[in-house]
């Protein structure tokens, strides 16, 4: 074996707080890639269908939202064509919801793995994020195309704003996902709670309306949803219309970090019992 | 190399509890307790699956772990494999560890054979580079070259197992922990696997090997550890430990009795293994027929009834389910009173090993009056014969009547004179 010195492993009862062991995660990077690649490869196996699925979901949903809220309601969309406005919000929201949902199911759906082999358990929720991110990439390209067709050219800031927004949303979703994935092992009705959350979240995020619809004095509260900031900033970068989003929306950056850290704490605290309970 | 010190594992058992609750229940329960008038908390009790187990394994040693079901073997394996932590004690392992609790962990049905080799290899702890280097060897071992680009969901179970074992067989850890994974595939492939295991063992690797197959344990392991009821019963040279295990196993009386329960319209009161004359037997000698005798009472006239015997192997697989009305047509009404039903088990049918008997009595397709999933166990003896000969994992007893002798005059001369003929030459 190329591993130089002989590794010593000590197995003992778990004690106290265990932070995420980044060195161990690095050792397991190949397995992480393998998990991520597996999900992507299964998803996009039939290339056409996989890609179509990633793109059609937001397109069809945007179409439905346009029919319902665009034609019946009178919600402003900041001078952006309604369908495109919805699509830009939806793609980010669907990514957020997908990240959350996949992470939450990652343990329960792969119990056969971690009850048979040791690896850092957190690899499962981590690698489950590959598919929603890949889906987003594809949907984003379509969004850019549609926006360009309608005469919107993204500003230069998009080059870093969009990746940062994805990171922002990912950290938030992963934090919540960690909580749910661990809880899901113990309480199987989490599986029923999640769709409920993602459905409500759609309306608690600026997908079908701009943030300006919300009274300004509530923005600090509204902005705590870690999907709100990214949606607004991506929209700003892609369509380049209207003022820059308010700074108060950055409130969800610390929120996302707290969710992530507490999620990691909870996950690490519970992980040693997963194999016994599941 | 492996130093196991005072290992114990405690499980909490919640009475009448499901394995996992629901969030709804947890919230409701918490709220009720908060208000101070919750129902009685579900009673919990402790169960030590392992207690105070210590042993050492030296470098290059091949050690067998044996014990009945429930003796704590799987728990020990899970702890050694770091799947679940011990409640107390400590284990030190020096060297790269790979554990094989099943073959094909991480296989994904949608992925091709080739992709799954990499997936499975990674899950078992192989580096990508290492898998690439051994890829051809793995494929050759598996004998599924032709289907490498086919998703494994289209594989037959035999092909699947071959490929999975091929990956596992090419692991090169310093310490290998193996569960009963050899009981897979057909006899030829098993032989190949055992051969490979022997190679691994001779290759100076440290191996911990769990099995019910005393033949394999005897062949592969120099030393063995016997677990009983979660504790270490003895350790030492394999032949001594396996002998003790086999003799201890037969000590248990294969019979059971149940408290009368007037609420049941029909009830099993006692049952057990009997020999061909109906005398209670301590064990099942493979060479003679035996019976499973069920004494039951009927407390009310029933329009129909039947007794069911379910025979499962020690590994939990159903061997046979038989009904007392199997060979009779129509209804079988009974008047109240005591009855005896006996199921005959022919000689040479069951494979030597542990068996679990499940019993029930009821009206077919109407209702069950009394059911005991795990009524009693018995052992089919014949291990001395089994150890001597090859294939394991057969589904049915191995001893068939044979007659060998010289061929009668004139019948085999032609064959002897012309040893090999190609098909084309004939006729």
Q: For position B135, which CATH number holds? A: 3.40.50.300
**Domain for residue B58, yes or no?**
yes
Nearest by CB to residue A188, choosing from B20, B95, B97, is B20
Find chain A residues with C-beta within 8 A of B20's C-beta.
Answer: 185-188, 277-278
B85-110 per-position pLDDT tens digit: 999 999 999 988 888 888 888 999 99
Number of domains in chain A: 1
**Domain for residue B388, yes or no?**
no
The domain boundary residue, chosen from B228, B249, B270:
B249
Find the domain containing B330 and state its range.
255-383
**Which residue, chain included where needed, has tokens 């995660």?**
A25
Mean per-residue pLDDT of chain B: 81
As a whole number, mean pLDDT of residues B17-31 equals: 65
* Same-domain status, B242 and B95: yes
| Per-residue pLDDT, B424 | 43
B372-382 per-position pLDDT tens digit: 888 888 888 76
Nearest by CB to residue B115, choosing from A41, A185, A186, is A41
Are B127 and A30 a contacting pair at CB < 8 A? yes
* Same-domain status, B217 and B293: no
As a whole number, mean pLDDT of residues B56-60 equals: 90
Decide if pLDDT at B267 tops 50. Answer: yes
Are A187 and B26 a contacting pair at CB < 8 A? yes
Q: For position B316, which CATH number holds? A: 2.70.50.60
**Which pTM was predicted?**
0.73
Number of domains in chain B: 2
A73-101 per-position pLDDT tens digit: 677 777 788 889 999 999 999 999 999 99
B302-335 per-position pLDDT tens digit: 988 999 999 987 666 788 899 988 877 788 888 9
* Same-domain status, B324 and B373: yes
* Same-domain status, B272 and B174: no
| Per-residue pLDDT, A4 | 44
**Domain for residue B392, yes or no?**
no
In chain B, the residue whose alpha carbon lies closest to the alpha carbon of A35 is B119
Residue A235, burial from CB neighbour count under 10 angstroms (0-12, 13-18, 19+): buried
> Which pLDDT band holds residue A118 (cuts at 50, 70, 90)?
very high
The domain boundary residue, chosen from B249, B266, B286:
B249
* Same-domain status, B222 and B260: no
**Domain for residue A105, yes or no?**
yes
* Same-domain status, B110 and B208: yes
* Same-domain status, B237 and B274: no
**Domain for residue B395, yes or no?**
no
Percent helix, strand and coil across chain B, each to the nearest 5: 25, 35, 40
**Domain for residue B203, yes or no?**
yes
**Domain for residue A142, yes or no?**
yes
From the CA of B152, how many Å to the nearest CA of chain A?
13
**Domain for residue B333, yes or no?**
yes
Nearest by CB to residue B20, choosing from A45, A118, A186, is A186
Enumerate chain A positions whose Cβ falls within 8 A of a Cβ in B.
Answer: 1-3, 6-14, 30-31, 34, 38, 41-42, 45, 112-119, 183, 185-190, 193, 272-273, 275-278
User: Radius of gyration (Cα) for chain B, nearest Å?
Assistant: 27
* Same-domain status, B304 and B191: no
**Domain for residue B365, yes or no?**
yes
Of A104 and A56, the structure prediction assigns the larger pLDDT to A104
- Compute the distance between CA of residue B52 and CA of residue B75 in angstroms, rounded to an integer: 13
* Same-domain status, B77 and B223: yes
| Per-residue pLDDT, B146 | 92
Q: What is the DSSP string of B249-277?
A: HTTS--EEE----TT-SEEEEEEEEE-TT
Find the domain containing A235 and state its range.
22-277
Q: Number of residue pairs across A and B with CB atoms under 8 Å?
A: 115
Write the CA distances from B291 to A97, B309, B381, B397, integer angstroms: 61, 11, 15, 16
> Which pLDDT band holds residue B425 (cuts at 50, 70, 90)?
very low
**Domain for residue A96, yes or no?**
yes
**Domain for residue A4, yes or no?**
no
* Same-domain status, B232 and B364: no
Strand partners, B231: B228
From the CA of B122, how many Å to the nearest CA of chain A?
6
Find chain B residues with C-beta within 8 A of A16's C-beta.
Answer: none
| Per-residue pLDDT, B388 | 40
**Domain for residue B99, yes or no?**
yes
| Per-residue pLDDT, B19 | 47
**Domain for residue A12, yes or no?**
no
* Same-domain status, B193 and B315: no
User: To probe the interface with A, which of B119, B154, B167 has the most A CB atoms within 10 Å?
Assistant: B119
Nearest by CB to residue B118, choosing from A34, A45, A186, is A34
The domain boundary residue, chosen from B230, B249, B268:
B249
**Domain for residue A13, yes or no?**
no
């Amino acid at each position: 074996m190329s591993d130089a010195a002989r590794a010593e492993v000590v197995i003992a009862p778990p004690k106290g707080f265990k932070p995420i062991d980044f060195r161990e995660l690095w050792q397991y990077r190949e397995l992480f890639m393998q998990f991520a690649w597996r999900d992507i490869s299964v998803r996009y196996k039939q290339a056409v269908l996989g890609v179509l699925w990633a793109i059609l979901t937001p397109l069809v949903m945007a179409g439905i939202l346009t029919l319902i809220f665009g034609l019946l309601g009178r919600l402003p969309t900041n001078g952006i064509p309604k369908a495109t406005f919805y699509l830009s919000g939806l793609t980010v929201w669907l990514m957020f919801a997908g990240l959350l949902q996949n992470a939450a199911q990652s343990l329960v759906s792969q119990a056969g793995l971690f009850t048979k082999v040791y690896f850092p358990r957190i690899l499962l929720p981590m690698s489950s994020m590959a598919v929603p991110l890949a889906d987003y990439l594809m949907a984003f390209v379509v969004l850019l195309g549609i926006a360009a067709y309608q005469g919107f050219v993204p500003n230069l800031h998009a080059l870093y704003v969009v990746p940062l927004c994805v990171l922002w949303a990912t950290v938030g979703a992963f934090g919540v996902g960690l909580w749910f994935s661990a809880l899901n092992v113990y309480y199987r009705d989490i599986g029923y709670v999640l769709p409920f959350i993602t459905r409500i979240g759609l309306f608690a995020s600026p997908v079908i309306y701009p943030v300006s619809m919300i009274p300004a004095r509530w923005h600090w509260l509204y902005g705590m949803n870690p999907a709100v900031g990214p949606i607004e900033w991506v929209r700003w970068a892609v369509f380049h219309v209207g003022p820059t989003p308010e700074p108060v929306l950055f409130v969800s950056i610390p929120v996302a970090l707290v969710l992530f850290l507490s999620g990691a704490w909870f996950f690490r605290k519970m992980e040693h019992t997963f194999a016994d309970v599941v | 190399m492996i130093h196991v010190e005072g290992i114990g594992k405690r499980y909490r058992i919640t009475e009448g509890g499901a394995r996992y609750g629901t969030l709804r229940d947890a919230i409701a329960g918490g709220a009720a307790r908060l208000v101070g008038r919750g129902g009685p908390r579900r009673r919990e009790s402790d169960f030590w699956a392992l207690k105070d187990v210590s042993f050492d394994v030296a470098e290059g040693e091949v050690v067998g772990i044996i014990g009945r079901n429930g003796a704590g073997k799987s728990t020990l394996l899970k702890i050694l494999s770091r799947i679940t932590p011990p409640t107390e004690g400590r284990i030190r392992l020096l060297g790269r560890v790979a554990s094989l609790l099943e073959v094909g962990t991480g296989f994904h049905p949608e992925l091709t054979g080739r992709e799954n080799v990499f997936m499975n290899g990674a899950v078992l702890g192989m580096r990508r580079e290492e898998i690439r280097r051994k890829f051809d060897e793995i494929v050759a071992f598996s004998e599924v070259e032709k289907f490498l680009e086919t998703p494994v969901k289209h594989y037959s179970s035999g092909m699947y197992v071959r490929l999975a074992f091929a990956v596992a067989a090419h692991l090169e850890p310093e310490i290998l922990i193996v569960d009963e994974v050899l009981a897979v595939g057909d006899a030829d492939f098993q032989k190949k696997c055992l051969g490979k295991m022997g190679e691994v063992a001779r290759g100076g690797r440290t191996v911990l090997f769990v099995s019910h197959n005393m033949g394999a344990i005897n062949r592969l392991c120099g030393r063995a550890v016997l677990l009983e009821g979660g504790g270490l019963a003895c350790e030492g040279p394999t032949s001594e430990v396996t002998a003790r295990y086999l003799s201890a196993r037969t000590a248990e009386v294969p019979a059971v009795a149940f408290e009368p329960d007037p609420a049941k319209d029909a009830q099993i009161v006692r049952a057990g293994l009997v020999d061909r004359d109906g005398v209670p037997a301590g064990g099942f000698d493979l060479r003679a027929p035996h019976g499973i005798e069920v004494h039951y009472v009927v407390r009310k006239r029933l329009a129909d009834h039947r007794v069911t015997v379910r025979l499962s192997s020690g590994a939990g697989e159903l061997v046979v389910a038989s009904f007392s009305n199997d060979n009779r047509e129509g209804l079988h009404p009974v008047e109240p009173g005591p009855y005896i039903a006996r199921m005959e088990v022919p000689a040479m049918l069951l494979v030597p090993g542990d068996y679990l008997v499940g019993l029930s009595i009821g009206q077919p397709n109407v209702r069950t009056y009394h059911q005991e999933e795990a009524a009693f166990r018995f052992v089919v003896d014949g291990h001395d014969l089994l150890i001597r000969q090859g294939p394991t994992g057969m589904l049915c007893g191995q001893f068939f009547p044979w007659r060998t002798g010289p061929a009668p005059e004139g019948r085999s001369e032609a064959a002897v004179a012309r040893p090999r003929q190609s098909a084309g030459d004939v006729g």
